[in-house]
Amino acid sequence: MSLILWLIAGIISTCGAMVMLEFGSAIPRSGGIKIYLERSFSPKLLQTCVYLFYCVFLQVSASNAYTFSSYLLLATGVDQTTWKVRGVATASAVFAVGGHLRIDNPHNFDISTSFQGTSSNGYNIGTALLNAIFAFQGYDNVNAVLSEVKDPKRTLQIALPSAMAVITFAAVPKEDFISSKITIAASLFRNVFGDSAATKALPALVAISALGHLLGIAFTVPRVIQELAKDGVTPFPNTIMQNRPFKTPIFALALHLGVTILFICAPPAGDAFNFIVSLSSYPTTFLLTAITIGLVKLRLSNTERWNPTRPTPWFVIALYIAGNIFLLVMPFVRPPNGKGNTSLPYWLTSVVALGILSLGVIYYVLRFVLAPRVFGYVLQPTVVDLSDGSQVTRYKTIR
């Protein structure tokens, strides 16, 4: 059953990549989800505020830090206690900011045993798909930096489909999948290479890979936060947008690091990784669904001049929206015995994710709608020229 879900996750993610390819070919500049939301829906500033809270609180590096920590401890032979994992994960987050088969046939493809122990409950299927899709997520990242890509339309058309290639391993029995948790790849290495040096060395490579992704997120997200400060939507924008000292967005980095450490240490021991993965996957799926609905709106609009070089087939758009709606609804379906995949309430991650996105709406209403009406002023957006030649937006109070 899990292999079928991985296949479905790959199909849904490929549909999403095709949607991002259309957006990228029609709007070949940096911004990604943010500018697609702003282009698709109004008021534009509301979309920016929602994306601000998504970027600050939900685009954290905690899952990569946990993966790096778990595999590093495994490679070095150190016991993986709760605070050792958290300590190494925190240290990695701080650092980022500054063969031959040796296993009997695991019978993963035997029809008689493939569905043993599986569940038909909507919650279990939905959360399993969300967790599988988490492994594919990232196909939208290049759209956020298209302005820095040479010949973005052509490059995107080549790179994005290539990045969606799927590799399936069938050397790990079901029991190992269940018991290995984060370090499932270590079971694969042990089964393929036996108890050799590779069993220790290869988990270290996974740790390095996770660290690389951690470094990438730590590079990208603070700079996105900095750009949001330049748009004038963050509190204390002049502080957050600064590149001093060291010519880095130090305050945005500190904010990103603080939220990451919070998510590393706050969830209960044993539940942290699953909680963080779900907390990342769910809101990303929500926003990707929103921009796909926005794509339909743009296509059907009589006033929009929507002219992508690589339009997505309508059936792909329909399949992607339907799949994502399923993923958004199923986490609220009560699982057997009311118990999800962690000791936390089964609905908690979805509610927390939607709550954080809702904070963006509340922030917009309070700052840009309610406060001006109550105190009798108008917020006038003004473009300010900086000494380096760049421009930022600031909101002046006019009474």
- For 322-357, the pLDDT digits (tens) are 999 998 998 888 887 777 766 778 888 889 999 999
CA distance readout (Å), 330 to 59, 208, 278, 319, 323: 22, 34, 13, 16, 11
Residues 307, 270: Cα–Cα separation, whole Å:
48
Q: Looking at the domain that runs over 1-398, which CATH code has it been given?
A: 1.20.1740.10
Residues 31, 23: Cα–Cα separation, whole Å:
11
What's the confidence (pLDDT) of residue 54? 92
Question: Coil, helix or strand for 383?
Answer: strand
Domain ranges of the chain: 1-398
Nearest to 310 by CA among 147, 161, 98: 161
Write the single-letter amino acid at 140.
Answer: D
Instruction: Write out the two tokens for 269.
Output: 């021991």
What's the confidence (pLDDT) of residue 317? 95
Count the neighbouring beta carbons within 10 Å of the beta carbon of residue 115: 12
Asked whether 357 and 55 are in contact (CB, 8 A), the reply is no
Gyration radius from the chain CA atoms: 22
CA distance readout (Å), 119 to 10, 124, 170, 325: 20, 7, 21, 20
What's the confidence (pLDDT) of residue 198? 52
Q: Which residues of the chain have pLDDT under 70?
A: 1-3, 62-64, 66, 71, 74-75, 80, 83, 95-121, 131, 134-135, 138-139, 144-145, 147-148, 163-203, 205-206, 245-246, 267-274, 277, 341-342, 388-389
Question: Coil, helix or strand for 391?
Answer: strand
What's the confidence (pLDDT) of residue 186? 56
Long-range contacts of 149-153 (CB under 8 A, 24+ apart): 152/24, 152/28, 152/29, 153/24, 153/25, 153/28, 153/309
User: H/E element holding 127?
Assistant: helix 122-136
CA distance readout (Å), 140 to 31, 160, 256, 296: 10, 9, 20, 18
Instruction: Write out the two tokens for 274.
Output: 């699953």
Residues 231, 273: Cα–Cα separation, whole Å:
33
Residues 366, 12: Cα–Cα separation, whole Å:
37
Residues 36, 3: Cα–Cα separation, whole Å:
33
Asked whether 329 and 126 are in contact (CB, 8 A), the reply is yes
What's the confidence (pLDDT) of residue 189? 56
